[in-house]
Chains A and B, each alone.
Chain A
C-alpha cells in the first residue's frame, strides 16, 4: 500500500459527460501528479501541483482540468468525454518535486 488513495476505482460513463477523479496523497506529501495510461501505453504526464499551485503541465487537453485543495487532496475533472478518453488515470504524490513518486491504484475510466 503506497498510502495514496484514488476514488472511484472504476467509472463507466457516456460520451459528452463530465467526471471528477479524486486523489488523496500520502500524509505530508506536497506534490501531486496526474497521469493517463491508455491500453498498452506508457504513462502520459498530465499535470503537477505542488502545495496547491500548478507547477507543470503536460499534454493535458483543454477539456481536462485539475486542482489541489488546501488539505492537499487533488481532483481531476474530465469534461465532454470522448471514447478516446477511456484509460487508467493515476495520481502520484511525492514529498517535493523531483523525488520518488508514490502511485495510487488508479481509476479505470470507460467511456461508452
Chain B
C-alpha cells in the first residue's frame, strides 16, 4: 500500500454526526498534515501535527498521531453539509533528506443534510 493511505475511501453521514478518517504511512516523518479538497479545486490546509505531538485540535477538527503505529486520524465533529469534500493526509518523507511529499488517495466525505 502507498504511504499516506486513507481509510475509508468513502464515507457518507448525516449532518450533525461525527466523521472519522484514518491515515497510515510508512517512513519516518517530522510532521503530518491534513488537507481538504472540494471537487476539482485546490487543496486547503486544515491542520499540521508534529511528530512529537499526540493530539491537536482546531475548531471542530481533532487530529491524533501515533508514530508507533505510523497512523493518524482526523475527526470532524458535528459535521455540516459544507464539510462534503475529499480529505487527504500528507507526509514529508524525510528519510531521503529530500522532503518528498506523499499524499494519500483520500477519503471522500459526503454529509447529507
Query: Which residues of A are at the interface with B, using a C-beta cutoff of 8 A?
Result: 2, 4, 33, 35, 41-45, 48, 55-58, 88, 90, 92, 97-106, 108
CB pair B42 A98 closer than 8 Å: no
Given contact pairs A42-B2, A48-B100, enumerate 13 new A-B contacts (beta carbons under 8 Å): A4-B42, A42-B4, A42-B88, A43-B103, A44-B103, A45-B102, A45-B103, A57-B98, A98-B30, A98-B92, A101-B45, A106-B42, A108-B40
Given A41-B105, A42-B106, are A98 and B99 also a contact pair (CB < 8 Å)?
yes
What is the CA–CA distance of A42 and B43 in the complex, to the nearest angstrom? 11
Q: How far is the CA of A27 from the CA of B92 in the complex (A)?
A: 22
Which of A35, A55, A88, A105 is B99 in contact with, Cβ under 8 Å?
Answer: A55
Question: Which residues of the other chain, B, contact A45 by a CB distance below 8 angstroms?
Answer: 100-103
**A54 CB to nearest chain B CB (Å):** 10
A-B contact count (CB 8 A): 67
CB distance from B79 to the nearest CB of A (A): 22
Nearest B residue to A102 via CB reads B45
The tally of residues in B whose CB lies under 8 Å from a CB in A reads: 27
Measured CB to CB, the nearest residue on chain A to B40 is A88
Q: What 0/1 readout, one digit per residue, does chain B (70-113) give for beta carbons within 8 Å of chain A?
A: 00000000000000000010101010101111111110000000
Bound together, the chains give a CA A2 to CA B73 distance in angstroms of 25
